[in-house]
């Protein structure tokens, strides 16, 4: 159990003592960086600019939700559309680690540009313990380069401030509740849908995945109340595999969507969710009826470990 009041006070002090001049804060709209933005705003007000980047890898409705929260907490913020830049840099890139590194590098380019404009000397990031532990922070071998660690260039021009780096997810939730920050139903990776379009990320792939993601999220939120366990994460993945199918009386040759639903308490380990068959059947029908170009749906029955939560 974390002492939320004490943490808020200590984090505020840390921010004030480390902040030289102005700072920009990289907010993904997730629970971690939103908590950081609220803490930073309480501690340093308009000396900090919270920046949210539309990478083109966001889910439907995400930008609007984030804007609403920023407004509610009276943050000094900027929402940037950099989707052209991010999507064009994905051309021809299929290797997951390379994708993550390029996305991380692009985030830093964007933030350095904004920092220059804003006259900031510091960059505030919502890195938490599992991010750096899994990125090989001296404790374990590198599993994946989480973008807020692995993508940082060697010589960064901004001083890094990471007040959440010793916290775990359950502690983040507790402190967020204490500050009345809306609970974000499930974590969403920094590189977004780019690590859920397996292989090369294309505009077509992103459009397919956005709709499939919306269908999966809404179906789980509507149905999971009656299940034994509400999944920790539930999402769709677009596979680069095309298979033969049949629609009406016509042969189709379409993509495959994988569904990942996993129960976990801290994202370090997890077991795949066992929903009723009927739920999966309805979900599959819904996806193949509504998402153009998809004719097959599969369900991921892999625990973590050996599988990670994300597929890339």
Q: Footprint of ligand XMP on this chain (CB under 6 A)?
A: 134, 144, 146-148, 187, 189-191, 233, 267, 304, 308-310
CB contact set of 173 (below 8 Å; sequence gap of 6+): 31, 183
Q: Shortest distance, CB of residue 147 to ligand XMP, whole angstroms?
A: 4
233 vs 273, beta carbon nearer ligand XMP = 233
Distance separating alpha carbons of residues 218 and 158, to the nearest angstrom:
39
- Classify burial at 148, counting beta carbons within 10 Å of its beta carbon; exposed 0-12, middle 13-18, buried 19 or more: buried
| DSSP one-letter string for 193-245 | GGGTB-SS--HHHHHHHHHHHHHHHHHHHHHGGGSSS--SEEEEEEEEEEEEE
Tokens linked to 157: 């021009």
- Classify burial at 308, counting beta carbons within 10 Å of its beta carbon; exposed 0-12, middle 13-18, buried 19 or more: middle
Give the C-alpha distances (Å, rounded to integers) separating 174 from 126, 127, 182, 183, 234.
16, 17, 11, 10, 22
Tokens linked to 6: 């004490």
Q: Shortest distance, CB of residue 69 to ligand XMP, whole angstroms?
A: 17
Q: How many residues does the chain have?
A: 312
Q: Shortest distance, CB of residue 223 to ligand XMP, whole angstroms?
A: 21
Q: Shortest distance, CB of residue 262 to ligand XMP, whole angstroms?
A: 9
Q: Shortest distance, CB of residue 40 to ligand XMP, whole angstroms?
A: 18
Q: Shortest distance, CB of residue 168 to ligand XMP, whole angstroms?
A: 12
Tokens linked to 81: 């559309």
Angle at 172 (CA atoms; ends 224, 27), nearest 5 degrees: 95
186 vs 252, beta carbon nearer ligand XMP = 186
114 vs 135, beta carbon nearer ligand XMP = 135
Q: Cis omega before residue 306 (within 30°)?
A: yes
26 vs 75, beta carbon nearer ligand XMP = 26
Q: Shortest distance, CB of residue 165 to ligand XMP, whole angstroms?
A: 13
233 vs 288, beta carbon nearer ligand XMP = 233
114 vs 127, beta carbon nearer ligand XMP = 127
44 vs 212, beta carbon nearer ligand XMP = 212
56 three-state secondary structure: coil
Q: Shortest distance, CB of residue 170 to ligand XMP, whole angstroms?
A: 13
174 vs 300, beta carbon nearer ligand XMP = 300
156 three-state secondary structure: coil
């Amino acid at each position: 159990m974390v002492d939320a009041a004490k943490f808020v006070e200590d984090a505020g002090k840390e921010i004030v003592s480390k902040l030289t001049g102005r700072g920009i804060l990289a907010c993904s709209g997730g629970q971690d960086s939103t908590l950081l933005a609220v803490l930073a705003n309480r501690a340093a007000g308009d000396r900090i600019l919270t920046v949210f980047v539309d990478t083109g890898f966001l889910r439907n409705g995400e930008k609007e939700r984030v804007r609403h929260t920023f407004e509610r907490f009276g943050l000094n913020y900027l929402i940037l559309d950099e989707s052209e830049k991010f999507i064009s840099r994905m051309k021809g890139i299929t290797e997951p680690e390379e994708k993550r590194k390029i996305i991380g590098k692009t985030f830093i380019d964007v933030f350095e540009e904004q920092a220059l404009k804003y006259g900031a000397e510091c960059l505030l990031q919502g890195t938490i313990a599992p991010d750096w532990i899994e990125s090989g922070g001296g404790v374990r071998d590198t599993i994946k380069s989480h973008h807020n660690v692995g993508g940082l260039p060697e010589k960064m021009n901004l001083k890094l401030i990471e007040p959440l780096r010793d916290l775990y997810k359950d502690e983040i939730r507790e402190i967020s509740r204490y500050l009345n920050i809306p609970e974000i139903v499930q974590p969403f990776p920094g590189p977004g849908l780019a690590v859920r379009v397996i292989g090369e990320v294309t505009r077509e792939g992103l459009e397919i995945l956005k709709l499939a993601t919306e269908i999966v999220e809404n179906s789980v939120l509507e149905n999971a109340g009656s299940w034994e366990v509400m999944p920790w994460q539930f999402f769709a993945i677009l596979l680069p595999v095309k298979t033969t199918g049949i629609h009406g009386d016509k042969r189709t040759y379409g993509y495959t969507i994988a569904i990942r639903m996993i129960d976990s308490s801290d994202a370090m380990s997890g077991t795949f969710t066992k929903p009723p068959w009927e739920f999966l059947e309805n979900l599959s029908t819904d996806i193949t009826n509504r998402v153009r170009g998809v004719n097959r749906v599969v369900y991921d029955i892999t625990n973590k470990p050996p599988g990670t939560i994300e597929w890339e």
